[in-house]
């Protein structure tokens, strides 16, 4: 069929209104803005559908008002009466926080009161007053551990269902189970930007939920203006460079309108932002531009800036991960620059490692990204690849759902904690590949989370592991630190830093040498994790008031360390509840081996051995030889004169090579000592 990009979605009335209203729209009151959204004209229809059906599937273009308006319509119609709450789930943390902020503003209430949010490691809500709650789907699933029927909620809206994250799939399955018991007092709304609606309907319209016709599909007719698609004439070598050049070109030669740039990850965003800043400065264009990042980990102030109209005479340029693809909508975007890549996690079950890879987006993603340019008037998309590349097999039609490409260990652990013992008979939205399920069971068994050959959690360890809001590997490190290795203080620091995954060491341009010099104060030859632990422990030992200055002095990012400190204190409270209060101050001191062994106890599946060419091979590579792994250039071991013979790593990331990050040197004998079921003693 024809590419959707070439079709026109123009709708004349809306066009005239928003095209001519564009400059005036800043003056529109929030109520007027709300009434202009496509969702508004469907308000009564939507409420009627929800009144009469247990499950309503809402389809509509991104930006039509599903995430911000639907929960408010429900609230206004009384669905949050009797102390019940309306939930709206998001696959991405940053989206949940931003939506809560916007909706509290629209309703004129303080964030955390009537409108709140809850995501891993951060929340703002009160069980007594919060009536509209934005959460990640993972967080809502975790709430099932204490409230199995999710009885706190009257309506649960599963937003961005087309994203098909593992947590979304799992939530759909749990909601189907819950509906059997709450057919009369729970409503489920599934919202999706694309055309999977029939599939969601078929899943819920099953005989075991009683009658058919329990669900219905509603379409919000969107408005989208034509978007002109530009491709590169020849492939580019470096999409970052191309992105920067394209932004500057647009700014120089195109009429007013903001620019949205899609890049794979945070690192790319920081680089592109710095490079654009530098070039624009050199060209004298900087005065007329406002450059902003949009990715996880922004402060509320930075989040707000992304949506605020740029000051008069300035063009806003937002560098974003694919969170701006459908989850959040920024008004005023007329130009989209799409690098064509996305960062995705892929699990290699044979080698047993998670890989973060940067790969071509799907065609449906490319279409969504382009659509962001045509929301308020005709726009342009600049794709940083050739038309031939787009037509080639490189760009898949759709993204593969996560349940087919990620490690299922976290999901299996949670399902078991929720009492699902027979995974084969579980009513998955889409059954995962059997080899991934088998691997998850094997991995959880090797972590001692489940009893060997039994589909149930091990009495203490497994149950506690499921409660920790951590990847089971990291959770195991933390529990083992308390139970076996007496290094809780350091393990908390290590796990908090790894869970956040951000590098706190800043390298300001022009001061590279000083920054490297300072990093050396924390650096240890045992590798990255122990270096991070040193930095965080030193930060925690600095009086609160002096911390920002101390961070500047040592070239450390104080926001990342502050967040890590908060996470480590949250994890501490979990340990306290699990009866480890007396062990929280346990430190391994200079006896690093205790911490290293503790890390091995969780990360043993990510163990690798040095090869002659300086690469590493996974120690357990299944049948075939595992992939070659390299030390990431940002690792403290990258420049080490002698490389450790054996290491464990926190994650592997594939860009030009398959790089290991978060590396710790180990003694090979520890593998058999700490993980005997996994590594037999030779
Ligand atoms: P959908 O869920 O259908 O994609 P949304 O409800 O997210 O649509 O967006 C509707 C409108 O609300 C858009 O015009 C968008 O610009 C605006 N909006 C959403 N989030 C924010 C925010 N955090 N700040 C300002 N405006 C926002």
Q: Which atom of ligand 1 is nearest to the CA of 67?
A: 2
Q: How far is the CA of 68 from the centre of ligand 1 (A)?
A: 6
Confidence of residue 622 (pLDDT cuts 50, 70, 90): low
Residue with tokens 């070239």, as numbered in its chain:
555
Tell me: the pLDDT tens digits for 115-136?
Answer: 999 999 999 999 999 999 999 9
Residue 375 in contact with ligand 1 by CB distance below 6 A: no
Tell me: the pLDDT tens digits for 569-582?
Answer: 999 999 999 999 99
What's residue 621's pLDDT?
56
Quick one: tokens of 432?
Answer: 């995962």
CA distance 36 to 20: 14
CA distance 284 to 614: 45
Burial of 652 (0-12, 13-18, 19+ CB in 10 A): buried
Do 63 and 329 contact (CB within 8 A), yes or no?
Answer: yes
Least confident of 22-26, 144-148, 432-436: 22-26
| Stated pTM of the model | 0.90
What's residue 656's pLDDT?
81
Tell me: the pLDDT tens digits for 213-264?
Answer: 789 999 998 778 999 999 999 999 899 999 999 999 999 999 999 999 999 9
Tell me: the pLDDT tens digits for 289-330?
Answer: 999 999 887 888 888 899 999 999 999 999 999 999 988 899
- Residue of 531, 658, 529 lying closest to 602 (CA atoms): 529
What's residue 88's pLDDT?
98
Please tell me what DSSP assigns to residue 472: H
Q: Is the pLDDT at 23 greater than 50, yes or no? A: no
Q: Which atom of ligand 1 is nearest to the CA of 220?
A: 3
Residue 329 in contact with ligand 1 by CB distance below 6 A: yes
Of all protein residues, the one whose alpha carbon is nearest to atom 17 of ligand 1 is 329
Tell me: the pLDDT tens digits for 41-51?
Answer: 999 999 999 99
- Residue of 441, 381, 369 lying closest to 407 (CA atoms): 441
Tell me: the pLDDT tens digits for 446-457?
Answer: 999 999 888 799
What's residue 623's pLDDT?
57
Least confident of 120-134, 151-165, 452-466: 452-466
User: Ligand 1 pocket test: which of 34, 57, 65, 106 has the largest number of ligand atoms within 8 Å of its C-beta?
Assistant: 65
Residue 18 in contact with ligand 1 by CB distance below 6 A: no
Q: Which atom of ligand 1 is nearest to the CA of 61?
A: 3
Least confident of 130-134, 267-271, 434-438, 624-628: 624-628
Q: Is the pLDDT at 22 greater than 90, yes or no? A: no
CA distance 11 to 27: 23
Q: Is the pLDDT at 16 greater than 60, yes or no? A: no
Confidence of residue 678 (pLDDT cuts 50, 70, 90): confident
Helices (H), 432-485: 434-446, 461-467, 472-480
What's residue 301's pLDDT?
87
Residue 68 in contact with ligand 1 by CB distance below 6 A: yes
Confidence of residue 508 (pLDDT cuts 50, 70, 90): confident
Average pLDDT value for the chain: 90
Residue 257 in contact with ligand 1 by CB distance below 6 A: no
Coil, strand or helix: which one is 45?
helix
Q: Is the pLDDT at 53 greater than 70, yes or no? A: yes
Do 444 and 413 contact (CB within 8 A), yes or no?
Answer: yes
Q: How far is the CA of 474 from the centre of ligand 1 (A)?
A: 35
Q: Is the pLDDT at 682 greater than 70, yes or no? A: no
Q: Is the pLDDT at 27 greater than 70, yes or no? A: no
Q: How far is the CA of 328 from the centre of ligand 1 (A)?
A: 6
H or E segment at 191? strand 187-192
Q: Is the pLDDT at 624 greater than 80, yes or no? A: no
Confidence of residue 349 (pLDDT cuts 50, 70, 90): confident
Residues 53, 182, 93, 411, Cα dihedral to 10°: -120
What's residue 184's pLDDT?
87
Of all protein residues, the one whose alpha carbon is nearest to atom 19 of ligand 1 is 329
Q: Is the pLDDT at 494 greater than 90, yes or no? A: yes
What's residue 352's pLDDT?
77
Quick one: tokens of 384?
Answer: 């940083």
Confidence of residue 90 (pLDDT cuts 50, 70, 90): very high
Residue 63 in contact with ligand 1 by CB distance below 6 A: yes
Please state the ipTM of this predicted complex.
Answer: 0.97
Mean pLDDT of 176-181: 94
Q: How far is the CA of 455 from the centre of ligand 1 (A)?
A: 43
Quick one: tokens of 16?
Answer: 């005239």
What's residue 10's pLDDT?
33
Q: How far is the CA of 594 from the centre of ligand 1 (A)?
A: 49
């Amino acid at each position: 069929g024809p590419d959707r990009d070439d079709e026109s979605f123009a709708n004349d009335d809306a066009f005239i209104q928003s095209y001519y209203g564009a400059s005036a729209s800043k003056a529109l009151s929030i109520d007027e803005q709300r009434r202009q959204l496509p969702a508004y004209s469907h308000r009564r229809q939507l409420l009627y559908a929800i009144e009469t059906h247990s499950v309503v599937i809402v389809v509509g273009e991104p930006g039509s008002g599903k995430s911000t308006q639907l929960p408010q319509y429900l609230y206004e119609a009384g669905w949050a009466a009797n102390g019940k709450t309306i939930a709206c789930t998001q696959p991405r943390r940053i989206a949940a926080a931003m939506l809560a902020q916007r909706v509290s503003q629209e309703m004129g209430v303080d964030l955390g009161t009537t409108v709140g949010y809850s995501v891993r490691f951060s929340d703002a809500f009160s069980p007594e007053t919060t009536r509209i709650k934005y959460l990640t789907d993972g967080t809502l699933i975790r709430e099932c551990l204490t409230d199995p029927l999710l009885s706190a909620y009257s309506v649960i809206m599963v937003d961005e269902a087309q994203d098909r994250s593992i947590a979304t799939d799992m939530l759909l399955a749990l909601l189907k189970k819950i509906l059997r018991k709450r057919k009369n007092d729970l409503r489920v709304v599934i919202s999706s930007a694309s055309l999977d609606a029939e599939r969601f309907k078929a899943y819920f319209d099953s005989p075991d939920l009683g009658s058919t016709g329990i669900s219905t599909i509603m379409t919000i007719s969107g408005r989208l203006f034509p978007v002109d698609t530009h491709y590169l004439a020849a492939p580019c070598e470096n999409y970052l460079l191309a992105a920067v050049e394209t932004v500057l070109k647009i700014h120089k030669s195109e009429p007013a309108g903001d620019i949205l740039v899609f890049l794979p990850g945070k690192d790319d965003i920081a680089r592109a932002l710095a490079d654009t800043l530098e070039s624009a400065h050199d060209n004298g264009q900087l005065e007329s531009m406002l450059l902003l990042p949009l990715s996880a980990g922004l402060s509320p102030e930075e989040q707000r800036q992304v949506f605020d109209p740029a000051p008069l005479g300035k063009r806003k340029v937002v560098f974003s991960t694919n969170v701006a693809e459908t989850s959040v909508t920024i008004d005023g975007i007329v130009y989209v620059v799409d690098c064509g890549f996305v960062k995705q996690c892929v699990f290699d079950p044979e080698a047993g490692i998670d890989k973060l890879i940067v790969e071509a987006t799907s065609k449906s993603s490319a279409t969504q990204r382009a659509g962001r340019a045509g929301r308020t008037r005709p726009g342009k998309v600049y794709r940083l690849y050739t038309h031939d590349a787009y037509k080639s097999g490189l760009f898949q039609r759709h993204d593969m759902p996560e349940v087919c490409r990620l490690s299922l260990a976290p999901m299996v652990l949670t399902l078991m904690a929720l009492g699902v013992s027979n995974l084969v008979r579980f009513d998955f939205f889409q059954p995962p590949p059997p080899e991934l399920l088998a691997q998850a069971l094997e991995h959880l068994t090797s972590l001692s989370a489940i009893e060997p050959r039994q589909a149930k959690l091990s009495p203490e360890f497994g149950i506690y592991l499921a409660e920790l809001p951590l990847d089971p590997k990291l959770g195991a490190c933390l529990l083992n630190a308390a139970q076996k290795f007496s290094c809780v203080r350091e393990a908390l620091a290590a796990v908090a830093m790894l869970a956040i995954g951000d590098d706190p060491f800043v390298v300001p341009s022009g001061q590279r040498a000083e920054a490297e010099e300072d990093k050396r104060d924390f650096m240890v030859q045992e590798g990255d994790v122990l270096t991070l632990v040193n930095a965080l422990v030193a930060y925690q030992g600095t009086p609160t008031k002096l911390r920002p200055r101390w961070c500047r002095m040592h070239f450390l990012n104080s926001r990342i360390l502050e967040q890590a400190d908060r996470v480590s204190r949250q994890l501490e409270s979990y340990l306290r509840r699990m009866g480890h209060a007396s062990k929280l101050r346990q430190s391994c001191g200079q006896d690093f081996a205790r911490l290293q062994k503790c890390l091995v106890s969780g990360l043993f599946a990510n163990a690798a051995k040095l090869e002659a060419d300086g690469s590493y091979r996974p120690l357990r590579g299944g049948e075939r030889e595992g992939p070659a792994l390299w030390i990431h250039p940002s690792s403290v071991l990258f420049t080490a004169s002698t490389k450790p013979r054996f290491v464990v790593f926190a994650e592997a990331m594939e860009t030009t090579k398959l790089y290991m990050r978060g590396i710790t040197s180990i003694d090979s004998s520890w593998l058999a000592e700490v993980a005997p079921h996994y590594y037999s003693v030779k």
